[in-house]
Amino acid sequence: MSTSDTSKIPNSLQEHWMPFTSNKDFKENPRLITGAKGVYLTNHKGKTMIDGSSGLFCNPFGHGRKEITEAVAKQLEQLDYCQPFQQGFGGSFELATRISRHTPGNLNRIFYTICGSTAVETAIKISIAYHRAKGDSKRFRFVGRERAYHGMNIGATSVGGMVNNVKTFASVLMPGVLHMRHTHLPEHKFISGQPDTGAELANDLERLCANFGGENIAACIVEPIAGSTGTLVPPKGYLNKLREICDKHEILLIFDEVITGWGRTGSAFASQEYGVTPDIMTMAKATTNGVVPMGVVACKEEIYDAVIDAAPKGAVELFHGYTYSGIPVSVAAALAVQDIIEKEDIFNRVKEIAPYFQKGLFTLKDIDVVENIRGYGMMGGIDMKTNVKPGKAGFECFKACYEAGINFKATGDCLIIAPQFICEKKHIDEIIDKLRTGILSYSKNLKN
Ligand SMILES: Cc1ncc(COP(=O)(O)O)c(C=O)c1O
């Protein structure tokens, strides 16, 4: 393979230790992607596949967007890097203004990070910095939730709630983190949209306040819809209750909108979709259409003001940041995404196509090996019946679907479907047809 041609099959697969991958399985039967355009991917066998999960939920505006490529190329020629500490460039300020037009309430202060994990880590640090700035340094606890995914650095892993992600690293996780129960109840069967029952699960936070002292809790972090564990849609009233309890105990509420942000629900953010405003919000993925890494933390103005005003003039107010915080190449991609959102009226487009997707998704209900389906907007989760032992069905089914010509993400026994926002009805039909073919082929092999 030449040094510049990344579409060829490499001579060796051994040196690359792949993330969140069964390396043994992959290296025996590789799945290499050689190209991507619009809603389609091409693999190294020359097969075209439809992208059923917008990459890792990060390419919702379509693959190979010329506007983004051109903006990035132009930026690299004009200014390839500028250090983000004590220095800046116009683009990152313009982007902050444009992002803040979409954020709910007065979450108008924008901090750049590298990815979703670093956005969550930053939100954790900002929470602590805010309470300290207000003279309240005893708040050290964070509350997360079971079945949450917030990323993979120590902070994000600690507040997350996926057992396999924490088992190996338990000894180094943050102390003082508590978890609420997840919001999926046994009666939540084949529901498209928000379940009617389960709002009272938010009272777990009140209970933790009673047991550990609300005055010791800095922040509570949730994904409005838990994405990576299979689209767990919040019960009606659940997020409002969390907001009330946080207000009562002066706990900051953080919404992790790394998946739900930028239109996945049909609103800019799930916050607006569900009418609940957090104090801090994280985003990443779709911010740049996933083509270059970027994370964002949006904070209420009073959080920024408290931290900034607490420091003497001339001093660094927040001892936190990254070499790649809001660098030109990420900003250029994100600005191009902002243009696409405006020009193509993306949020309304999602609102229009989402019911068609939801209807199609739930037609898969009749397949024998399908245990449950959930969905909201352009997100869906399909639970497969357990195969031999829990956690095996998702990956096996993913492989069968890949052969059937559809790509998506599987977690445990769940298939996570998140079509691109640019999908037309014919693409949704293709996604559903290929899912059916793949799931049936998986199920046939089970019986043989
Ligand atoms: C809700 C949520 N938060 C954080 C992350 C971590 O993002 P990243 O992989 O960019 O670090 C993810 C990734 O899927 C996510 O879904």
Which ligand 1 atom lies nearest to the CA of residue 156?
Answer: 4
Residue 325: both structure tokens together: 């915080």
Which residue out of 59, 114, 149, 255 has the highest number of ligand 1 atoms within 8 Å of its CB and is therefore the one to mutate? Answer: 149
State in Å: Cα 116 to ligand 1 middle: 4
Residue type, 137: S
Cα torsion 246, 249, 252, 256 to 10°: value is: -30
Residue 121 Cβ < 6 Å to ligand 1: no
Any ligand 1 atom below 6 A from CB of 160: no
Most informative mutation of 259, 260, 283, 411 for ligand 1 (most atoms within 8 A of CB): 259
Half-sphere exposure of 200 (CA within 13 A, CB side): 2
Tell me the C-alpha distance between 190 and 178, whole Å.
30
pLDDT for residue 2 = 53
Q: Indicate if the pLDDT at residue 162 is higher than 70.
A: yes
pTM as predicted = 0.97
Q: Is the CB of 227 under 6 A from ligand 1?
A: yes
From 377, 364, 368, select the one nearest 415 (Cα to Cα): 364
What's the pLDDT score for residue 392?
Answer: 87
pLDDT, residue 448, reads: 57
74-92 mean pLDDT: 97
pLDDT at site 5: 76
Q: Judge whether 400 and 443 are in contact, CB under 8 Å.
A: no
Mean pLDDT of 42-46: 94
Q: Is the pLDDT of residue 203 over 80?
A: yes
For ligand 1, whether the C-beta of 60 sits within 6 Å is no
The pLDDT of residue 117: 98
- Per-residue pLDDT tens over the stretch 101-160: 999 999 999 999 999 999 999 999 999 999 999 999 999 999 999 999 999 999 999 999
From 267, 183, 181, select the one nearest 225 (Cα to Cα): 183
Read off the pLDDT of residues 280-328 as tens digits, 9 standing for 90 and up: 999 999 999 999 999 999 999 999 999 999 999 999 999 999 999 999 9
How close is the Cα of 443 to the center of ligand 1, in Å? 31
pLDDT tens digits, one per residue of 47-63: 999 999 999 999 999 99
CA distance 136 to 130: 9
Ligand 1, atom 3, lies closest to the CA of: 150
Given a contact cutoff of 8 angstroms between Cβ atoms, the answer to whether 299 and 349 are in contact is no
Give the number of the atom of ligand 1 that is nearest the alpha carbon of residue 116.
Answer: 7
| pLDDT tens column, 339-378 | 999 999 999 999 999 999 999 999 999 999 999 999 999 9
Give me ligand 1 centre to Cα 259, in Å.
Answer: 7
Arithmetic mean of pLDDT over the chain: 96
Amino acid 43: pLDDT: 95
Please compute Rg for the chain using Cα positions: 22
- Decide if pLDDT at 178 tops 70: yes
Q: Is the CB of 117 under 6 A from ligand 1?
A: yes
